[in-house]
Structure 1
Amino acid sequence: MSRRFWLIIMIASLYIYIMSHNPPEWLKSLGYNHLLDWYSVYICEQAPVELVYNPGLKTLTTEGKLEVKSFIPDGRYNYGDRLENALKEGYQVVVECSGMDAWHTSSQGKKFLDRMYPQFYRVVVFDGGHHLPTLGLQPDVILVPVLRGYAVHSYTQDGIKVDILVELAREAGIPTVIATVPRWGLVKRDKCLDKLALRTITRAGYTSKTNIGSSQASPGVGKINGRVFAYVGVNNAKSPEQLAAVIKNMQGELHRVYLAFDYGVIDLESAIRFTRKLSGYLKVEVKRVNEPVKITTAWWGEKR
């Protein structure tokens, strides 16, 4: 086999090992990011993109080639300023990772989301259950790095099966294109995410539809069409009462609640009890939709 092949294997192994241990930014900057840039540009051209749910994309009024702005995690949290600049600079596609996506469930982030809708295709890298609230916010595209059937993160234990994700979108009538790419083929570097987003949008095709209704949000919670999608993590894992109060405060009918958990802060048995209690408070069906899975546990078939 070629030297390039073995170099790619070595870089991929290094990437998985380092990211699964959540390294500090200074470690990533010691030559690691440069290797990752090289690997990401090569590998994102090779990785297969599969459309697993395709209701079609809204039609934007654009001229010429779509321009993409990918926001990779870099320790900066001025999301509104960065998106404002993207609007001014004329981008038509934005790619968001965990922090920016979660920010849209805040009051400021939700207001900006309403401004974005007619001007951007919003692409979300959905790498675990912490992105579940975004289903209630109708992103245009969900891009899923998948390993053994799971949307899975490098170190957060909150994997969710792709089949379940598609089922939730279809059941709630959410007009979001869902595409999968192998976990090894998606690297959170801007050139890689730019290319994967364009490949997905080009394949999805367009429709005359607009958004299906008014989304609502509260930090960690999204609601659409009577369905609530919420993430239970470090801020609310001990308080189903608090989450029930947030959901009750949202307008409109409530048909069903879907929960994803961060199993790094709550164990499986406690998550089951939390789900049962929340259902009792709200008097509706509440379903737990994810599992204590990350890259390493999905790969080896273990759950912790």
Structure 2
Amino acid sequence: MWLKRILLFSIVLAAYVHIMVNNPDDGIKAIGYKPMLDYYASRISYAEHIKIIYDPGLRKLSVPKEQIKITAVLPECDNDYEQIVGQLFESKGFAIIQCSAMDNWHTTAKGKTYLDKMYQHGYRAVVFDGGHHLPTLGLGPDIIIVPQMAGYTVHSYMRDGMKVEKIHAILKDINSPAVIAVLPRWALIKQEKALVSITKTVLNLADYRAEPAGKFSITAENRMSKYNNHIFIYINNQYYKNPSLLIKRISRLGINDVHKIYLAFDYQSIDKYQALAFADWLHEQLAIKVETVNEPVNVFNAFWGGK
């Protein structure tokens, strides 16, 4: 009897968490979801769970680490990102930690204009929980926070996970100045205090680089970027169905000096065989090496070992 009760409780809890993670209802949130997350996040000792796996060193800002103001931009926040960035400049030094929506905003015409201003005064950290963040590797992030499960960085429901070792290899290949911090997926809570605590811990763990920061220059189009002779693209359904638009935007980045194009696919809209054929087609069109770097994996099938 007790075994049945435990199993039933586990099923109900798993269903509740699944619903809340994928499509949380405001009414259920009010009952106890947010307080539960607040309590859960407050019990995690991030210093024990965060590991720096790539540390080229942080840039030195005009203020010491302990005086940096940390701001977390949550997925459900108001998307007036210009106002959010404007408020950052009220501090002498800041660190902003971003999730998917604001990270992608920086590849838009408006969003990329703010990257240089932010670079001059603060750090930009990104929660890299799947291939949809691939373009950020060309946008000069200071910190990449990687929630890991079964060797993958995975989103709760988006099926576009990447192997952590692949992210590490790419950053080494392009000589990126970004610090990679890895923590268990269960310890990554997209809640303000949690994200601030994670960022503060990474700042404390990371070293400063010996040499001064280089010149900041961004080349980006919507959901794509270019850095150090490499291009990073997230292929969503729009690009898959309109390849001429994709080629047009890649051309704007400039391809004469490109060594390789890295692709990540939205596997909720595109299957593995379509992705493989598309990557081959792009290679033939541009005569440039093309590599697909993500897989149709999210939290649940990474946990259970299926794809």
Q: Same fold (TM over 0.5)?
A: yes
Pairwise CA distance, 1:301: 0.7
- In 2, the alpha carbon distance for the partners of 1:225 and 1:39 equals 40
Task: Report how many aligned residue pairs link the two structures.
Answer: 295
Percent pairwise identity = 37
- 1:8-63 per-residue CA deviation (whole Å, 9 max, x = no partner) reads x9999577423453334454343211111111121254751011111010000115
Cα contact 1:20–1:295 (8 A) shared by 2: no
Identify the range of structure 1 (60-69 vs 161-170) with the bigger mean alpha-carbon deviation.
60-69
Task: Find the residue that maps to 1:269 and give its secondary structure.
Answer: helix
2:231 is aligned with 1:228: yes
Instruction: Give the corresponding residue for 1:216.
Output: 219
How far residue 233 of structure 1 moved from its aligned partner, in angstroms, is 1.4
1:276 aligns to what?
Answer: 280
Q: Which residue is 2:75 aligned to?
A: 73
Gap change, CA 1:22 and 1:241, over 3 Å in 2: same
Q: Do the aligned residues in 1 keep the contact of 2:53 with 2:181 (CA within 8 Å)?
A: yes
Distance 1:203 1:235 in 2: 40
Asked whether the equivalents of residues 44 and 196 of structure 1 are also in contact (C-alpha less than 8 Å), the reply is: no
Aligned partner of 1:184 in structure 2 is 186
Instruction: Provide closer, same or farther for how the CA distance between residues 74 and 90 of structure 1 changes in structure 2, counting only shifts above 3 A.
Output: farther
Tell me which residue corresponds to 2:3. Answer: none
CA shift in 2, pair 1:81/1:48, >3 Å? same
SS of residue matched to 2:248? helix
| Residue number in structure 2 paired with 1:101 | 103
Q: How much is the aligned-residue C-alpha RMSD, in angstroms?
A: 2.1
CA contact (8 A) 1:129 1:231 kept: yes
How far apart, CA to CA, are the structure 2 residues paired with 1:212 and 1:284?
27
Mapping of residues 1-304 of structure 1, within 5 Å: 13=14, 16-45=17-46, 48-63=49-64, 64-90=66-92, 92-207=94-209, 208-211=211-214, 214-251=217-254, 253-303=257-307
Distance 1:83-1:43 versus aligned 2 partners, 3 A rule: same
Partner of 2:104, secondary structure, is helix
For residues 44 and 241 of structure 1, what CA distance do their matches in structure 2 show?
A: 49
SS of 2:262's equivalent in the other structure is: strand
Which whole-Å CA distance do the structure 2 matches of 1:177 and 1:25 have between them?
35
Letter of the aligned partner of 2:242 in structure 1? S
Partner of 2:4: none
Structure 1 consecutive aligned stretches of length 4 or more whose deviation exceeds 6 Å: 9-12
Give the TM-score normalised by the residue count of structure 2: 0.90
Deviations 1:254-277 (A, max 9, x none): 211000011001111111111111
Write out per-residue CA displacement over residues 58-89 of structure 1, whole angstroms, 9 at most, x where no aligned residue. 00011553221111111521111111112224
1:48 and 1:24 map into 2 onto residues whose CA distance is: 30
